[in-house]
Amino acid sequence: MSNLIARFVKDESGATAIEYGLIAALIALAIMVGAGSLGNALNAKFDKIASKVNGVN
């Protein structure tokens, strides 16, 4: 039984895949936050343009 536990503790075969998965998740989160921020900024800019265009009429 102790041999099985020792072998389990030393086994790192899935560690790299988990690390790459975590990195991909963090990158995806950063992209989503950035896209949301960019969308809000563009929405504000287009609202400003629309109000100026409507003010001309």
pLDDT (tens digit per residue) in 4-48: 888 877 777 788 889 999 999 999 999 999 999 999 999 999 999
- Residue written as token pair 């936050």: 33
**What pLDDT band is residue 57 in, cutting at 50, 70 and 90?**
low
Q: Tell me, what's the pLDDT at 11?
A: 75
Report d(CA 47, CA 28) in Å as an integer.
28
Q: Cα torsion at 10, 11, 14, 20 (round to 10°)? A: 30
Report d(CA 48, CA 57) in Å as an integer.
15
Domain positions in the chain: 14-56
